[in-house]
Chain A
């Protein structure tokens, strides 16, 4: 048996030039679905957010949600797109049980927004990602596969369908191919999705939670040798975190390079990214090329956004995340380098919110880039998913500033917060971690330390104040670190008449 050794990443990008492209699906946070008045709230009992329209009952008809159209136009504007003056919805026809009508209402050759761009910063360099189109469609229901291993379709004996999600407005954002990324392709892909997510969040159009599926990403990757035409691309689906975007591109570059180096061909296919293994696996190959038989949706009349309306929406756009970051950098007094580390850690918004909750920028940055970043890194998760909220971090810092916690204790409290034990104050109280500032209790501990160390005490009495450190250490030991060292020191000197 032979095993193929994958070339390492550096060798792959030395031999080949990657071209990437990204298709991102965003569930809009409208109150109601795209074509009916059912609510879009997450987590309802199965099949309780459905009506004749989104269940595809015979005779039911769609009516487009104005808020979803508006949100899509705003996304297009934020991505520097042109907004169509006239466009139609189209039916995308294919059979699948999570689609109640066995067609999806989408947009085909007449998307609402076209031809924009998004600038992202990678390694101090600005990369312009072209936006091909932004269009609006409806989401599908959710299928539960029963009887197979770990809920997968393969090996399942039956499937169960819940249509609560069916019909939730879904915006698809497609980039133009991004050539010339070189070794930075994975970082650029990640930076693009990050920037896009920040823009969408800033627009308030979606909660953009990748883990809940409200932001989903497909990554297209191809390789070519320098000077040659672009290679055949694969589409990697199931990329459900920012970290995975980067990993998926990286692993697909390595895989394709191995295939090409060994004289093989890349086949155009859909691949699935595995969070566990970090690599991509081929999807089931299709017997015949899919023909979606698109045609204009006869049940919906064309959209013709009024240019004046579009201009009003443009004027009301929030500050772009890049501009916003620049302003924060100035307010926080950070160098470009420091700001970049904040951005790379995904901590901009967390720090901003922590400051808004009352902490200083320096303290907020210390926690998020220090202890919390370390924890996120250890657990292999996003900083925002680390388990502490900006409000909790601010509260923690308030306890430190008020002398109730010292640094060491604060880190212990933070662990409790991350473990879900409650707010910093609650953890501090429950675990009895507050700094011992009760002078009575402290005096007893000090007296005990003096009695136990007569030699040291004598030195201090003789004016060798520096020797008091040993006594402070003894007191800290008996109080299990919960005493404030400065107070202890003052008490010792006072007891020994050394002030």
Chain B
């Protein structure tokens, strides 16, 4: 049985903001299925009582003093932007009020 369906891949593509083509959907569905079946092996490990590791370094409380550091200039900040208007980053009309 497939671990992931073509529809699910289409859903993932939407969530990931990838306008994938129909052909890509077919390819990705097959490949992701193979990969997911392989990685699902982590489930074989009995780890109910094992704490998860999110960070390999044993550090805590890495904090910065509340002191101002020089910003970029506006020119530097906007230099890489695809489109600028009124010193702001211009984007096309937004559909959703929130994603």
Residues in A lying within 8 Å of B, measured CB to CB: 30-32, 36-39, 45-52, 55, 63-69, 86, 88, 94-97, 143-147, 153, 156-163, 270, 283-284, 286, 290-291, 295-296, 298, 300-306
Number of interface residues of B (CB under 8 A): 37
Shortest CB distance B81–A (Å): 9
Contact partner of A159 (CB less than 8 A), chosen from B55, B67, B94, is B94
Q: Which of A47, A96, A143: most chain B CB closer than 10 A?
A: A47
Task: Tally the A-B contacts, defined by beta carbons under 8 Å.
Answer: 140
Shortest CB distance A282–B (Å): 11
The reply to whether B88 and A46 contact each other, CB–CB distance below 8 Å, is yes
Shortest CB distance A105–B (Å): 14
Q: Which residues of B contact A143 (CB under 8 A)?
A: 94
Shortest CB distance A290–B (Å): 7
Tell me the complex Cα distance, A160–B69, Å: 26
| Chain A binder among B1-9, B20-28, B57-65 | B57-65
Shortest CB distance A296–B (Å): 4
Tell me the complex Cα distance, A291–B14, Å: 12
Tell me the complex Cα distance, A332–B10, Å: 69
Are A63 and B62 also in contact (CB < 8 A) when A39-B68, A290-B99 are?
yes
19 further interface pairs, Cβ-Cβ under 8 Å (given A49-B71, A63-B63, A159-B91): A30-B66, A31-B67, A32-B66, A32-B68, A46-B74, A46-B87, A51-B70, A63-B64, A66-B63, A69-B63, A94-B99, A96-B99, A153-B94, A156-B93, A160-B89, A296-B54, A301-B62, A302-B55, A303-B60
Tell me the complex Cα distance, A146–B91, Å: 10
Q: Which residues of B contact A30 (CB under 8 A)?
A: 66
Are A48 and B71 also in contact (CB < 8 A) when A153-B94, A156-B93, A161-B91 are?
yes
Q: Which of B81-99 contact A (CB under 8 A)?
A: 85-94, 96-99
Q: Does B77 contact A (CB under 8 A)?
A: yes
